[in-house]
Amino acid sequence: MKKRVTGIGGVFLKAKDPKATKEWYRQHLGIQSGKYGGTFEWRKAEAPDQKGFTAWSIFDETTEYTNPSKKDAMINYRVENLEELLKVLEEEGVKIIGEMEVYEYGKFGWIMDPNGYKIELWEPNDEEYDKIKGETNLSG
């Protein structure tokens, strides 16, 4: 099997007041956040001419997106060949959450870790993600 995790795809936090929390991060840490959160753009070490992205977002504390986890954070990991990885993880006894979802900007799957954290796995299509990052741009 190819590599499993290739990097951090995103960091997602829950907050009582997402708008105020995003403003705090903007004011004190300089993180700009659009409609869907923010995006950190970087270059791939093995192919510097190619972009990669890490998403950052604050969700309302009542979000169901991180269910069944009761934790206040979720990490998204970039992976290669998500379909194959989900099969291998299931064979290894890892709890798979829901069905894989496919979008223009990548494929998504979810698992639970032994501490109750829901983990999002993302097989990115960086070229397509680059087209939507205006809603999440952290620059400026």
Amino acid identity at 48: P
- Which domains are present in the chain? 9-72+84-92+106-135 (3.10.180)
pTM comes to 0.85
Report DSSP state, residue 29: H
Residues 6+ apart with CB under 8 A from 80: 2, 3, 4, 6, 123
Mean pLDDT value of segment 2-20: 92
ω before 68 within 30° of 0 (cis)?
Answer: yes
pLDDT (tens digit per residue) in 90-127: 999 999 999 999 999 999 999 999 999 999 999 998 88
Pairing between β-strand 106-112 and β-strand 118-124 as defined by DSSP bridges:
antiparallel
